[in-house]
Amino acid sequence: NLILSFETSCDETSVAVIKNGSEILSNIVATQIKSHQRFGGVVPEVASRHHIEQITGCVEDALARASVTYDDLDAVAVTYGPGLVGALLIGVTAAKTIAWAHGLPLVPVNHIAGHIYGARLVKPIEFPAMALVVSGGHTELVYMPEEGKFEIIGETRDDAAGEAYDKIGRVLSINYPAGKEVDELAHQGKDTFNFPRAMDDDSNFDFSFSGLKSAFINTVHHADQIHESLSREDLAASFQQAVVDVLADKTKRALREFPVNQLILAGGVAANRGLRERLTDELTAFKDTELVLVPLSLCGDNAAMIGSAGEMLYRQGVRADATLNADPSLEFDLMNK
């Protein structure tokens, strides 16, 4: 089957054509990062306007690059949450319009399910599976006993991992989004600051990154006041080591309690080199669990992953009608039947 998929939850306008849920025929991503950089973060109104300007061209490019027409399609899939409401609405409206105009079924997709199903573009997901989702807005351990079922067993109590990267990046005068550059700096430094690893020893699967962020910011501000200059590389390395330690420890604990066939690392922060290396190391101790890393090109927001999750939901009979609305705080439970 062929699915035309839409992703507009944040600052990427993306449209893809996916074959059988696993083969990318096209994946057009128009990023708006430059427009948001001077504000130090995503400005919702600016995002919506860009989506409106980009979406039609993205649809045309996606169809052309895949060499298909509307008549070849079996369904339209779209992210309807979570995300920025005004941004989501552009994708939802475009998808609804195309589905209605061409008599195609409309499949609503949860953005986080999309991040996880990015793994399916590498190899089939084998259940039960666990996903560590680390992104700009989420840090979650998601247990998937079977296809289409998502159980959040742990999540952040405050900041998401990506959000923490972006906030400490600002203190290091790194442009938004800072994750990639902090990751690069970290590889040139050493963990000399020993920042706190919050909740690392707690017997749950939850995370907290605001204490780490505050410790980082206080360290830099204190040094500024006494005109001491700290190594940016060591600061970045110390921050990253604290993040990776907690993510790896909690994931190991989750894998011991929920034995799975695959561990999927997904979300924007899944592009982190330190995290990918660490999980690769740690997973050698879990002989029955295969590590599936979403490829770097598909870690950030894109419509290919939405088409992949959308195809699974399409086969399960999940449909939306013309009343489909954006749901900025959409949760997983709504998808579980």
> Is 166 assigned to a binding site?
yes
Write phi, then psi, for 264 (nearest 5 degrees). -105, 130
Answer yes or no whether residue 14 interacts with Fe ion by CB under 5 A. no
Which partner from the list ligand ATP, Fe ion, Mg ion, none does 114 bind, CB cut-off 5 to 8 Å by kind?
A: none
The vertex-318 CA angle with 150 and 315, nearest 5°, equals: 90
Q: Which helix (H) or strand (E) holds 29?
A: strand 23-31
Query: Which is nearer to Mg ion, 183 or 301 (by Cβ)?
Result: 301
Q: Is 288 buried (19+), middle (13-18) or exposed (0-12) by CB count in 10 A? A: exposed
Query: Which is nearer to ligand ATP, 12 or 311 (by Cβ)?
Result: 12
Answer yes or no whether residue 88 interacts with ligand ATP by CB under 6 A. no
Rounded to whole angstroms, the Cα distance separating 166 from 179 reads: 6
Pairing of strands 75-81, 106-110: parallel
Q: Site mask, ligand ATP, residues 287-306, x = CB under 6 A?
A: -------------xx-----
Strand ranges (E), 34-172 = 75-81, 106-110, 129-134, 139-144, 151-155
Answer yes or no whether residue 324 interacts with Mg ion by CB under 5 A. no
User: Which residue number has the CB closest to ligand ATP?
Assistant: 268
Answer yes or no whether residue 212 interacts with Mg ion by CB under 5 A. no
Binding-site member from 178, 246, 254, 326 for ligand ATP (CB under 6 A) = 178
Amino acid identity, position 189: G
Binding-site member from 135, 208, 238, 262 for ligand ATP (CB under 6 A) = 135
Binding-site member from 159, 163, 183, 301 for Mg ion (CB under 5 A) = 301
Tokens of 234: 């060591």
DSSP of 217-264:
HHHHHHHHHTT----HHHHHHHHHHHHHHHHHHHHHHHHHHS--SEEE
| 119-127, 161-169, 280-288, 312-320 -> range binding ligand ATP (CB under 6 A) | 161-169
Binding site residues, ligand ATP, CB under 6 A: 9-10, 82-83, 111, 115, 135-138, 162, 165-166, 177-180, 183, 267-269, 271-272, 300-301
Binding site residues, Fe ion, CB under 5 A: 135, 301
